[in-house]
Each structure stands twice: as C-alpha cells, then as structure tokens.
Structure 1
Amino acid sequence: MMNDATLRKIDLNLLLAFSVLMQERNVSRAAERLLLGQPGLSAALRRLREALDDELFVRVGRGLQPTPRALSIAPAIEDALSGIERAIRPQAEFDPASWQGEFRIGMCDNLESAFFGPLAARLLQLSPGARLIGIASEKRDAARRLDEGVFDFSVAMHDEPASWHIRAPLFDQVSICIYDEAQLGLKAPLSLKDFAKVAHVTVSFEGNTSTGIDMALNRTGDVRQVVATVPRFSALPMVLKAMPAIATVPESIGRCMAQLHGLMLCEPPLSLPADPVTMLYRRVDQTDGRARWFRRLFIDVANKALEASGCCVSIPRAAA
C-alpha cells in the first residue's frame, strides 16, 4: 500500500525535474527541456534535496554528478513517470474492425422488430469479430439493469434519469392503426365511428387493456371494445390475420408488420400524443471510445431504418 504521508511531500513536477537532470547532467539543458528558467530549476532541486534528505546532484565542472542515492532511485522514478505518461496518454481511436467482444443493447420488442436486424447486419460489416446481444428491456427496469452492466444502453421511453445516467432524445414515436383489410372489410381512412365500434387488440406486457386511446375516446364520448390483449408485438399480426379486429401500435413496428404480413395501415381518427423514445446510458461511458462508437452506430442504423420504412422522423446524431 502507498504511504500517503511520504507522497504528499513530493510534487510530481519535482520528479520530472529529477528525471531530466539525470538524463542531461546539466542545469541549462535541463531547464530548457522543462521550459523553466535556471532559477526555477534550482528551486525545484532544492525542494527535492529537502524532501529526500540528500544532495542528489553535485556540480563537477560544468556538469552535474549524481550521488549514490540519486543513482539508486533513478530507475524506479523513471518507471513511475513512464507509467503515468502511458496512463494519461490520449485514448487510441476505437477500431471496430479489429475489436472482438460483445455489444449489448436493451430494447422492447416493438423497437427490436424495427432496428435489431439492420443493426446486426451493419455491425457484421463493420466489426466482424463482434457479437450483438439483444436484451429484452422495459422502461421500469432499464435503469437498474443498466447499472448492473446488463447492456451498453437502453432504447425505450425512459423516465427521468438519475444523475449518473444520461437520457438522450431519439425520436417521437407516433401511433398508427393496423388491420387485415380482408378480415375487417374497411378501407382507410377510418372514421371515428368505425374506429370505436370495431374490435380492438392491445399489446401489454402486464395484461392491461386500458391505454391512452381509451382516455382520448372518452373525451369524444366514445368507448371501444378490447377483445384480446397479447404480451408481445410479435404475436399481433397472426391475431389480426385471424379475426376482424384492429390494433393501434407504434408507427415503426406497424410499418414493419404491414410489409411482412400484408396488413393495412391508416392514421388514427383521433389525436393521440406521441411517445418520446430515448437512449439511456451511463455517464461513466460518455467518452469511452467503444461505447460511443456503438451508440453512434445505432443512431445511424435507426435513422436509415426509419427512413426506409417511411417514418417521417430523424434522430439527431448529437444524441450519442
């Protein structure tokens, strides 16, 4: 264990002055390298002599001769200074092409459907030695699991973050209606009357049937009939293909479902608030090269995926 009392007596700059004096054995040349005047270097040498209780350097002619004490401590001081220099050296730029390891991202399944595939494909191109791990995550447990190191960052609708987290805005997620036109027998756009009277399917991890849609309908004096609730968005297309019903889902996954399963999309016939999707990550990872590269990669991939699906949103790169 380090002796704090001993180290408090020594200024790091004094050790640097000692090292340069050992190398140059000349006060003028050492002062020039240290960008000091000779009086300043002489003062530093005086403080070193007092701290170490040794003369350290003796003037011989125009040069300096180190004492046995100076010669004995010189290798250790040189190693220590070299170690400090390596430790504080600017970080090398992260090289994804040569990196081997895992990137871990937490998302709920509707965002996974929209972004995970394109993210995995892009990562394979840029970092072939890496592996992408998707972790099922909900906003209620995202902060805790982030602190536990379960993932590098979470993408969800996060609550107000703790001071040691950073919540960066990504995009506002609007809602869209989706249904099987053959089953439902209705064409877009839907009227509010049609929307309220048809059967509805909702998605809820906890099995809740009431959502913001019900509150919006209440303001218009309407009530809808929820006939089924599924815990995952992945189950929704098969339900809609099997029965005359409609679902209101985030636009990003709705457009994916429509393309994959031949479902119809339309705007809801009532005003629904957009949900802010954010990225949550640890403040300690803010400047880490690997983590920052991964966050920026996700933003680039998500922007392209949203554009390709027809969603009219754009994620600011400054979010990472």
Structure 2
Amino acid sequence: MMNDAVLRKIDLNLLLAFSVLMQERNVSRAAERLLLGQPGLSAALKRLREALDDELFIRVGRGLQPTARALAIAPAIEDALSGIERAIRPPKGFDPSTWQGEFRVGMCDNLETAFFGPLVARLRQLAPGARLVGVAADKRDAAQMLDDGAYEFSISVHGEPASWHIRMPLFEQCSIAIYDPQQLKLKPPISVEDFVAAPHIAISFVGSATTAVDAALDKVGLSRNVVATVPRYSAVPPALRAMPSIAIVPESLGRCMAQLHNLEVSMPPVELPADPVSMLYRRVDRADERASWFRRLFVEVADKALLASGCKAGICAEAA
C-alpha cells in the first residue's frame, strides 16, 4: 500500500526535474528542456533535497554529479514516470477491423425482430472478430440492467434517465394493423367498421386484454373484440395465419412480419399514440471510442432498416 504521508512531500514536477537532471547532468540544459529558468530549477532541486534528505547532485565544474542515493532511486523514478506517461497518453483510435471481443445490446423482442439481423450482418462486415450478444430487456428494468453491466446500451421506450445515464431519442414508433389476407378478406386501409368487427389478438406482457388500443377506441366511443392475448410478439404471426384476426403491433416489427410471413399491413382507422424509442447508455461511456463506434453503428443500421421496411418514422436528426 502507498504511504500517503511520504508522497504528499513530492509532486510530479519535482520527479520530472530529477529525471531530466539525471539525463543532462547540467542545470542550464535541464532548465531549457523543462521550459524553466535556472532559478526555478534550482528551487525545485532545493525542494527535492529537503524532501529526500540528500544532496542528490553535486556541482563538479560545469556539470552535476549524482550522489549514491540519486543513482539508487533513478531507475525506479524513470519507471514510475514512464508508467504515468503511458497511462495518460491519448488512447489509440478504435479499429473495428482488428478488434476481438463482444458487443452487448439490450432490446425487447419487437425491436430485436426489426434490427438484430441487420445489426449483426453489418457488424460482421466491419468487425469480423467481434461477437454480438442480444440481451432481453424492457423499459421496466433497462436502467438497472445497464448499471449491472448486462449490455452497453438499451433500445426501448425509456423513462426519465438518471443523472449518470444519457437518453438519446431515436424515432417515434407508430403502431399498425397486421393480418393474414388469406384469412381476413379485407383491403387496406381497413375501415373503422371492419376494424371493430374483426376478432383481435392483443399483445400484453401482463396478460391484460385491455391495452392502449382499447383506450384510444374508447375515446371515440368504440370497442373491439379481443379473442386472445399473447405475451410475446413472436406468437402473433402463427395466430394470424391460423384464424381471421387482426393484431396491432409496432410499425417496424409489423412490416418485418409482413415480409417474412406474407401478411398484410394497414394503418389503424383510429389515431394511436406513438412511442418514443430511445437509446439509453452510461454517461461514463460517452467518450469511449469503442462504445461510441458501436452506438453510431446501431443508429446507421436502424435508420437503413426503417427506410428499407417502409416505415414512415426515421432516425431523429439528433441521433443521426
């Protein structure tokens, strides 16, 4: 353990002056290297002598001769100064093409469906030695999992962030209606009459048949017929393929489902609130080059995925 009482007597500038004097063995040349006047360097040497209780350097002619104590401590001081210099040296720029390691991202299942595939594909192109790990998360535990180190950032609908977190807006997630046109013979856009008449499959993580969709319908004096609820979006396409029904899902997910399962999409006939999807990451990671590169990569991939799927919402200018 370091002896604080001893270290308080010495500051870094004194050790640097000692090192340069050892190398130059001449006050004038050492002062020039240190950008000091000779009186300033002499004052520093006086403080060193008092702190270490040794002459350290003896004037011999025009030069300096180190004492036995100075010669004994010089290697350790050189090592210490070299270690400090390496520690505070600006880090090398992050090179994804040579990096070997893991990137971790937290997303709920609907965002994973829309973005995980394009993200890992792009990562393989730019950082072939890296591995992408997706961690299941939602807005209820996203901040705590971030603090626990479960992932480097979370993509979700986040609440007000803590002072040690940064929340970066990404896009407004609208909702769309999705159904199997082979089961439900409707042409988009669906009318409000057909919408409320059709059976509905609701998505609820807590098993409730009443969601924000029902609240929006209630405002205009309407209601829908919910015949089933599922806790995960992955269960929606098989259910729609099995029976004539409609589900309301986030737009980015719904358009992916439509492409993968030959489903039809339609804008809902009633206005539904949009969810502000954001990226949540730790403030301490803001200046980390590797972490910031990964955040920028996600923004790039998500923007292209949204445009490719036909979503109206794109990445916010602040994020892009």
Q: TM-score range by the shorter chain?
A: over 0.9
- 1:265 maps to which residue? 265
Write the distance in 1 (CA, Å) between the matches of 2:131 and 2:109.
19
Aligned to 2:227: 227
3-state SS, counterpart of residue 223 of structure 1: coil
Distance in 2 separating the partners of 1:316 and 1:290 = 22
The offset of 1:316, in angstroms, is: 4.6
How well do the aligned residues superpose, as a CA RMSD in angstroms? 1.4
- Structure 1 residue 14: deviation in Å? 0.7
2:236 equivalent in structure 1? 236
| Contact 2:169/2:318 (8 A) holds in 1 | no
- 1:11 counterpart residue number: 11
CA contact (8 A) 2:204 2:211 kept: no
Counterpart position of 2:32: 32
Q: CA deviation at 1:312?
A: 2.7
Which residue is equivalent to 1:200? 200
CA distance in 2, matches of 1:26, 1:191: 92
Aligned counterpart, 1:164: 164
**1:2 aligned partner:** 2
Alignment: residue pair count: 320
Letter in 1 for 2:70: A
Alignment of 1:143-162 (within 5 A): 143-162=143-162
* Equivalent residue runs for 1:1-320 within 5 Å: 1-316=1-316, 319=319
The structure-2 alpha-carbon separation of the partners of 1:76 and 1:293, relative to structure 1 and needing over 3 Å to count, comes to: same
Judge conservation of contact 1:299–1:317 (CA < 8 Å) in 2. Answer: no
1:296 and 1:317 in contact (8 A); partners too: no
Take 2:265 and 2:5, find their aligned partners in 1: how far apart are those partners?
A: 72
How many angstroms does 1:193 deviate by? Answer: 2.4
String of CA shifts for 1:136-193, please: whole Å, max 9, x gaps. 1111111121122111111111122222222111111111111122322221122222
Task: Indicate the SS of the match to 2:168.
Answer: strand
User: 2:138 touches 2:156 (CA, 8 Å); kept in 1?
Assistant: yes
Residue 207 of structure 1 contacts residue 231 of structure 1 at CA under 8 Å; is this kept in 2?
Answer: yes
Runs of at least 5 residues in structure 2 that lack an aligned partner in the other structure = none
Distance 2:52 2:319 in 1: 52
The residue type paired with residue 172 of structure 2 is D
Question: 2 CA distance for matches of 1:18 and 1:318?
Answer: 50
1:70 CA displacement: 1.0
Cα 1:314–1:36 change in 2 (3 A) is farther
Q: Deviation of residue 315 (structure 1)?
A: 2.2
- Contiguous gaps of at least 5 residues in structure 1: none
Counterparts of 2:171 and 2:50 in 1: how far apart (Å)?
63
Distance 1:29 1:286, change over 3 A: same
Q: Quick one: percent identity of the two aligned structures? A: 72
Moved runs in structure 1, 4+ residues, more than 3 A? 316-320
TM-score by length of 1: 0.96
Deviates more, 1:310-319 or 1:171-180: 310-319
